[in-house]
Structure 1
Amino acid sequence: MNLEYVLPSEIEKRSFEIIESELEAPIPDNIKPIVIRAIHTTADFDYAKNLYFSENAVDTALEVLGNGAVIVTDTNMAKAGINKAALARHGCDCMCFMADEDIAETAKREGTTRAAASVDKAAKLGKPVIYAVGNAPTALVRLCEHIEKGDFVPELIIGAPVGFVNVVQSKEMLISSGVPCIVAKGRKGGSNVAAAICNALLYMLDNKKGFKK
Structure 2
Amino acid sequence: MDFRTEFKPLTVQPQEIEGLSFNMIDSEFGEHAFTEQQYKIVQRVVHASADFELGHSMLFHDDAIKAGINAIRNGEQVYADVQMILSGVSKGRIEKHGGSVNVYISDQDVMEEAKRLNTTRAIISVRKAIKQFDGGIFAIGNAPTALLELIRLIKEGEAKPSLVIGLPVGFVSAPESKEELAKLDVPFITNIGRKGGSTITVAALNAISLLAEKD
What are the Cα deviations for residues 92-120 of structure 1, in whole angstroms up to 9, with x where unaligned? 21000011111111111111111100010
1:19 to 25, 48, 61: 25
Contact 2:163 2:187 in 1 (8 A): yes
Deviation, structure 1 residue 89: 2.5
1:189 to 183, 189, 196: 196
Structure 2 segments unaligned to the other structure (5+ residues): none
Distance of 1:35 and 1:42 partners within structure 2: 11
Q: Output aligned runs, 1:1-213, within 5 Å.
A: 5-26=11-32, 27-208=34-215
Say how many residue pairs are matched: 208
Distance of 1:41 and 1:199 partners within structure 2: 11
Equivalent residue number for residue 211 of structure 1: none
Question: Displaced runs of 4+ in structure 1, greater than 3 A?
Answer: 1-5
What percentage of aligned pairs have identical amino acids? 38
Distance of 1:65 and 1:182 partners within structure 2: 15
Query: 93-102 or 125-134, which moves further after superposition?
Result: 125-134
Structure 1 segments unaligned to the other structure (5+ residues): 209-213
Distance of 1:126 and 1:19 partners within structure 2: 37
Structure 1 length-normalised TM? 0.92
Deviation, structure 1 residue 63: 1.1
Deviation, structure 1 residue 3: 6.0
Deviation, structure 1 residue 61: 1.0
Structure 2 length-normalised TM? 0.92
Deviation, structure 1 residue 168: 0.9
What are the Cα deviations for residues 2-30 of structure 1, in whole angstroms up to 9, with x where unaligned? 76552233211221111111111154212
Distance of 2:66 and 2:91 partners within structure 1: 21
The structure having more radius of gyration, on CA atoms, is: 2
CA RMSD of aligned residues (A): 1.5
SS of match in other structure, 2:171: coil
